[in-house]
Chains A and B, each alone.
Chain A
Amino acid sequence: MSINFALLLEQTLNGLQYGVMLFLMAAGLTLVFGIMNLVNLAHGSLYMVGAYLATAFTEKTGSFVLGVALALPATLLVGVVVEIVALRTLYERDHLDQVLATFGLILFFNELVAIVWGRAAIFTSVPPFLSGHFRVLPGLPYPTYRAVIILVGIAVAIMLWALVTRTRLGMRIRAGASNRTMISALGVDIRQLYTFVFGLGAALAGLAGAMAGPVYSVQPGMGEGILIQVFVVIVIGGIGSIRGAVVGAIVVGMADTLGRAFLKPLLATIISPPAADKAGPALASMSIYLLMAAVLFFRPEGLFPARGRS
């Protein structure tokens, strides 16, 4: 079987781009889970809120860049409000209560955006200056917008890395992920740290949503689909670790994309083509979960767990 090299490269870029989107979501979720010990099912809702706000601001201002730039602090604000109003009381409760409460938040946000913007999906498009293609290689055009998503994702990853490893705040975040009791005993206002971390996570989810708007469908409930994969990412990467989120997101993005693209033709060389037709899509959709199961078996704490956690 010959896999055309240009196609392989293109699918690798697709996988990278998908991984970047997952990373933006996973970074926030893993910090909130790791530091605050909070299972936040409503993280997908913040992604949705980011997409809606970016769309609304883009329409108001006429500029996509400005729309996204405004959506970020706005989603951060929404996150902070949610943390203060709803989540603060949940930190001491067990995970089941948190799941129940944050699931309630999903329903609340879905109905809220339906009331404000209607139930039908709303229109967003790639801004004209990003709508073209550029040549990665001769004969391999790639959508500029998707390339920009990759670049933004890499930039955010570097900034987060710098924040977490090179600043005092980052030190506290790392300390919080490793041992929450100790850090509050040392006199750090853990409450403030929680609010900040949650807001940061919300802003990152909002950024993912804002960038997803022009590619995906902006509608109530858009965050739930991606949330499941994001949980897979943080389980693979290791809870509470930014490095784990980066690696997990890229691994999941690649496995999912390459699985969808090449598993069926690959299987067809081993088993009969009709059987491959059936097994290919089924296996491709399972691939990331199989990967997660394998990681859980060999390294239950994930590939790059936060230090000090066990």
Chain B
Amino acid sequence: MRTTRRAALAGFLVALVAAPASAQTVKIGFITTLSGPQGAIGEHMKNSVELALDHLGRKVGGLDVEVIYGDDQVKPDVGKQLADEMLKKHKVHFVSGVIWSNVMLAVAPTVTGAGTFMIGTNAGPHELAGKMCHELFFTTSWQNDQTPEAMGKYMQDQNITDVYAMAPNYAAGKDMIAGVKRYFKNKIVGEVYTQLGQQDYQAEISQLRAASPKAVFVFYPGGMGIQFLKQYAQAGLRGQIPLYSVYTVDEISLPAVKEAALGQFETRYWSPDLKNEANQKYVVDYRKKYGKMPVFYGAQSYDGIMLIDAAVKAVKGDLTNKKGMIAAMRQADYKSTRGPYKYNVNHFPIENFYLLKAVQDPSGELVMQIQKTVFENHKDSYSAECPMKW
């Protein structure tokens, strides 16, 4: 009792002395996509950063905070320019955010190379988890392969004998199907790559129906997913051939597809119905403030601010103590919306992955609901390639 009081008094005195002397502000540069069709994701991320700051009383680690938002327009070159501007002009202490892996691969080395922290809150390209890992790089999300790995594992556990796989024809599309194959060892009867941004899938759906597989796996993020799901349902295949997916149905696309998504299976590390205190607070307050369901992109961004807060607290506001902040972040000692987790050597989370299903809740709203845990404390497949030791 006495020690805590003394500590509190000491803290008070330190604050009293320190505050007027430095009046320091934590500056965070947050890069996301705020314009164009993908701007909906960035909106959720920005909202979540603001909600995190609300919950922290507009302070980070007890210091005043300023967040500078940047719109990368889904372009790596624009992302890099933003990072340069944030580092040189705004002299930020942390850069955070970044949705796209290609943007991340341009931004992260720029930021860590300048000796500044990069706190990723979505993209998890395998390069950064493996050979390019860095002590100043942390992420609150996942490595790209982990989510499809969980889906592959689930489909294998269900002993589905054959699966028809579809994805857009670009790097991530191939990675996702490779991730599924790492755990799904039964037959892949069809592996179809469609054009990136394709709108009409009727031709592929006709081929799919003719192949009559036991199940279908797809990776169709954003508008592609909305189109595919609608057309799949319109073709009368919903209810006939079960559909498993990653990053295709989420809280952003559900209101646009509604019934066409009913019964859809996804794997994910987070869901709004995860039962822990931090998550319930996040979900309830998010809905109250913004009038819609939060999505995992937001939960990761909320966590990103909380992780920074914990690090700045641990070094008592001394932003020059990078070693101290690295050590603090490695503990992941904050109330994450996914519940407690640990960091792997490459600063990627070791976390659970769940099977989610799109269902109608009692109020009639369509929501993603956790069905079961597929992986507990799942590590990514690239950490062995990371030379970092701690």
Contact = CB atoms under 8 A, between A and B. Distances in A.
A111 B199 CA distance: 21
A133 interface: yes
A123 interface: yes
Interface stretch (B81-89, B255-263, B302-310): B255-263
A261 B206 CA distance: 8
Contacts of A179: none
B37 interface: yes
A145 B234 contact: yes
A257 interface: yes
Contact of B37 (A10, A215, A219): A219
Contact of A126 (B204, B210, B234): B234
Main secondary structure on B side of the interface with A:
helix
Interface residues on A, range: 35 or more
A18 interface: yes
Nearest to A212: B199
A125 B259 CA distance: 9
B344 interface: no
A114 B39 contact: yes
Contact of B36 (A110, A123, A145, A226): A110
Contacts of A257: 202-203
A144 B101 CA distance: 40
B206 A215 contact: no
Given A120-B255, A121-B223, A121-B226, A260 B204 contact: yes
Contact of A220 (B39, B210, B227): B39
Contacts of B199: 212, 216-217, 222, 225-226
Contact of B258 (A125, A131, A226, A285): A125
Interface in A1-33: 4, 7, 10-11, 14-15, 17-18
Interface in B224-269: 224, 226-227, 230-231, 234-236, 252-253, 255-260
A146 interface: yes
B169 interface: yes
A7 B43 CA distance: 43
A277 B206 CA distance: 18
Contact of B227 (A122, A131, A217, A277): A217
A17 B202 contact: yes
| Residue among B43, B195, B199, B200 with the highest chain A CB neighbour number at 10 A | B200
Contacts of B223: 121, 216-217, 219, 222
Contacts of A4: 210
A104 interface: no
A285 B255 CA distance: 31
Contact of A10 (B206, B226, B257): B206
Contacts of B195: 281, 285
B257 A261 contact: no
A7 B194 CA distance: 19
Contacts of B206: 7, 10-11, 14, 261
Given A120-B255, A123-B257, A214-B230, A222 B203 contact: no
Contacts of A73: none
B340 interface: no
Interface of A: 4, 7, 10-11, 14-15, 17-18, 110-111, 114, 118-123, 125-126, 131, 133, 141, 143, 145-146, 212, 214-222, 225-226, 257-258, 260-261, 277, 281-282, 285
Interface of B: 35-37, 39-40, 43, 169, 191-195, 197-200, 202-204, 206-207, 210, 223-224, 226-227, 230-231, 234-236, 252-253, 255-260
25 contacts: A10-B206, A14-B200, A14-B203, A118-B40, A119-B40, A120-B40, A120-B255, A123-B256, A125-B260, A212-B199, A215-B231, A216-B200, A216-B226, A217-B224, A217-B226, A217-B256, A219-B37, A219-B226, A220-B37, A221-B36, A225-B198, A257-B202, A258-B203, A261-B203, A261-B204
